[in-house]
Amino acid sequence: MKSSKSPGKERLWKLWRDDVACVKARDPAARNVLEVVLTYPGVHAIIWHRLANRLWLSGFKFPARFVSWFARLVTNVDIHPGATIGRSFFIDHGAGVVIGETAEIGDNVTMYHGVTLGGVSWSPGRRHPIIEDGVLIGAGAKILGPIKVGGGARIGANSVVVEEVPPGVTAVGIPARIVRAPTTRSAIGTRVNLDHHLIADPVGEVLSLLLDRVEFLEARLNHMQRRARKPEAACEEKVEG
């Protein structure tokens, strides 16, 4: 994670201000600050989490868990108070998101509804993913285990990520596979260039290659059959002559 300074050391109001300000840059539906503050459950969830995390780091474990429970009750977003979240974090639509205790999220991360940053072990220690700066995670994606998603990467909707993802790539599927190499994108902190319609379809590409191969083999077979018929036709003409 690029950010070396823990957001827990900054004033809450400054972190909250950044969380609210980033929404308008990433959501075309956001019209003004008042609307964002009053009607965006994803913003409410991160505001409550900042408070719960501050209590957790100060040793007030039960109050932190209670604030986290209340936030889940009113926002339908479940963030453990021990999770580390960087600046300008945006959960769009804010429904069904689950973020585990040892998860770490960098700055300027965008996440859609239904995302899970989960663990795959009951053992103590790190169990959840590290999400570096500028990552975009599509709706319904599951990122499981103590793995790292590199800065600027994209995770396609409903993907299941169980292995580390390099910086700047696009990964989709179950299990997730890299379908696009790093490309130049909008700078972190500015409007996100989603390009959802340009996400590759690896299954479709393989089927297209198979169809091309079948067509080639059929054409070759027809050519060989025509060549095989020519000597037969020539022999028949000689016999008739």
Q: Which two tokens stand for residue 39?
A: 């009607």
Question: CA triplet 226, 229, 235: central angle to 5 degrees?
Answer: 150
Contact status, residue 15 vs residue 50, Cβ threshold 8 Å: yes
| pLDDT at site 234 | 64
Under-70 pLDDT residues of the chain: 1-10, 181-202, 232-241
E strand or H helix at 66 = helix 61-75
Q: Which residue has the tokens 């008739």?
A: 240
| pLDDT at site 99 | 95
- The conformation of residue 25, written as its DSSP 8-state character, comes to H
Phi/psi for 222 (5° steps) reads -65, -40
Give CA–CA dist 7/152, Å, rounded: 20
| pLDDT at site 207 | 85
pTM here? 0.72
| pLDDT at site 7 | 63
